[in-house]
Structure 1
Amino acid sequence: MSITTHLSPREAKRYATARRLQRCALQLTVERGYDGWTMDDLATEAEVSRRTVFNYFEGKAQVVLGPIAELDPELIATFVAGGPTGDLVDDLVCLAQCATEEGSEDIDALPAVREAIIKDGRLLALVHERFETITEMLAEVLREREGSSFPAGRARLLLRLLLICLDDAVERAAADPSQSFPELLGAAVADARALFAR
């Protein structure tokens, strides 16, 4: 079911404009590099005013990468309590799937985001900063669940492995956009677990 079916006409229009802005920003980044265009260039490319661009996004990083996914506090509480399945890896994957589910309508844009990141060192650095912020937050949540004796290094390793699976799911999205991103992430994790079990 499309996300726009749950939106009012006004919300649907805002959603469409935000998607158009992000697609234009990605295209500009692929063509010119992250530092090779301005928000004014984006406004021109998307055929909107500069003010409209800033009504939707705080800056270039957010328009290219999207906002940082926020997890529902109830999901975090369930995770910390040992749920939803009782298996640490499965439960962490559930958190990642929930975080990516909202943006799964934009699955066809993920390969362009990945291409832009790989081609541009500045954007890659911004992604790394974002990953470090998210890793710190999730490592705390992991240790809250597993106890303070759970090694911080192990928490970071687990989160890095999850990031590799996320990247693999983006590659899978380019090859098969008919599946939802959470499904592709689940498949990537299942393949990784099968390889480690050998």
Structure 2
Amino acid sequence: MGLRERKKRATRRALQRAAVQLAIERGLEHVTVDDIAAAADVSTRTFFNYFSGKEDALIGDGPPTPGEEARRVFVDGGPTGDLVDDLKVFLLAPIIDDEEALPLLEDLRQRKRLIELEPQLIPRVMATFHAMEQVVAEAVAARLGDAADDLRPQLLSTVAAAAIRFTMKRTTWSGQEGPENIRAMSDEVFDVLRRALAREDR
């Protein structure tokens, strides 16, 4: 990523963080676009280059979504050849491989706090998770030769995404959010999931 794109991403994230923090402090209805822009030290015009309104900034970009390279490797049958392991790697890619992703975990915690205070935002937040799961479902379908809306890729993407969310919650609770801890927890979570589905523990 070039310097220009890094600056644009930094501005976008600064606006999101400002929006969430102000809404937590003041309440959603008492925060304006002008307030958010000022808190992020940009102009209101710059704000509208990134978001259509304050609700868009509050919801943000949603959960980290695998990129094109991770998708290519997964669809081509990699990196291990085992579907469950490869789903885990695919979903963790935007968290583990992006050095700027881990600091966003604090942003996710703050957004969770905001949603608890402003539950009317829940449908829009859930829509971002659905969008991410559809990206995963399309990749699973491409790998398996299914249609993207078939039951198998839809179910696999939903279950795998839920496993990653559970992984992130567990590492957050333990206060250990480094890449190695996330990998270790995801290995344990997906192993439990695999054994449960195979009924090996019964």
User: Partner letter of residue 135 of structure 1?
Assistant: E
How many residues are matched?
191
1:92 is matched with which residue: 70, 80, 87? 87
1:38 is matched with which residue: 32, 35, 42? 32
Which residue matches 2:178? 179
Instruction: Summarize the alignment of residues 14-25 of structure 1 with structure 2, pairs less than 5 Å apart.
Output: 17-25=11-19
Query: Is contact 2:138–2:148 with CA below 8 Å preserved after alignment?
Result: no
Higher RCO structure (Cα 8 Å, ≥6 apart) = 1
Distance 1:74 1:156 in 2: 21
Deviation at 1:96, TM superposition (A): 1.5
Distance 1:33 1:152 in 2: 41
Instruction: Summarize the alignment of residues 1-198 of structure 1 with structure 2, pairs less than 5 Å apart.
Output: 17-32=11-26, 34=28, 37-67=31-61, 69=64, 71-101=66-96, 102=98, 103-148=101-146, 152-171=150-169, 172-173=171-172, 175-176=174-175, 178-180=177-179, 183-184=181-182, 187-188=185-186, 190-194=188-192, 196=196, 198=201
Query: Is contact 2:24–2:117 with CA below 8 Å preserved after alignment?
Result: yes
Distance 2:177 2:125 in 1: 26
Q: Which has the higher helix share?
A: 1
Please, what TM-score do these two structures have when normalized by structure 1? 0.73
Decide which moves more: 68-77 or 159-168. Answer: 68-77
Distance 1:50 1:20 in 2: 13
Deviation at 1:70, TM superposition (A): 5.5
User: Partner letter of residue 114 of structure 2?
Assistant: A
Percent of pairs identical after alignment?
30
Give the root-mean-square deviation of aligned CA atoms: 3.4
Query: Is contact 1:84–1:91 with CA below 8 Å preserved after alignment?
Result: yes
Distance 2:126 2:54 in 1: 16
Deviation at 1:112, TM superposition (A): 0.9
SS of the equivalent of 2:45 reads: helix
Offset from partner CA, 1:80-136 (integer Å, 9 cap, x none)? 121111111221221212223432232322211222234433322112222223333
SS of the equivalent of 1:83 reads: coil
Deviation at 1:188, TM superposition (A): 3.8
Segments of structure 1 that go 5 or more residues without pairing to the other structure are 1-5
Distance 2:16 2:176 in 1: 18
